[in-house]
Amino acid sequence: MDPIIEKLNLLNGPGYEAARGTLQFFYDALSVLDHKAEALMVFDGILIAAAAFAIDRGRLGAVHKWRRALTLIAITLALVAAAACLFVARIKYSFLGDVTIVDGKLQLDPELAALAAALARRTADYEFAWYLSVGAVAMSILVALSIFIVPLRSPEAEQDE
């Protein structure tokens, strides 16, 4: 019999209700993090596209080097945030791989410890990515608001300085 099948048969038997609930919690929490990371990657992609458009079509490439620099910083922050999300959304669950059977009973502690560590690590990765994305948004807002304070000039005026 396949070891995973044997483990599942025992896990679904009597006496493992609390363990099933705990395992379900960990897998649900990891799935939530996966979905949040996916959404943040999409958001970062939109932010990158908007910033690239601003540089290319919004005349930030030709004038106001400091605006272009802030926009490039925003793009870099969003790219690093998206890369950090890849560490959250990766599939690396061994699905009961750390569970052993000793004398016909499941030994779940190593599996629960591994899942807890994965949840903590991926939560930290997500928080890191989220803060980077917030930084990218802040930079983008700063660039957008600066247009009201320091209007865009023509490329010729920038070269005259």
**pLDDT tens-digit readout, 87-134:** 998 776 677 778 888 888 888 999 899 999 999 999 999 999 999 999
Banded pLDDT at 146 (limits 50, 70, 90): confident
**pLDDT tens-digit readout, 14-52:** 888 998 999 999 999 999 999 999 999 999 999 999 998
Banded pLDDT at 61 (limits 50, 70, 90): low
3-state secondary structure of 110: helix
* pLDDT above 60 (res 161): no
Segments of the chain assigned E as strands: 100-102, 105-107
Q: How far is CA 129 from CA 79, 119, 125, in A?
A: 10, 15, 6
What's the domain count of the chain? 1
| 101 and 7 Cβ atoms separated by less than 8 Å | yes
What 8-state DSSP symbol labels residue 60?
T
* pLDDT above 60 (res 158): no
Domain span at 48 = 3-160
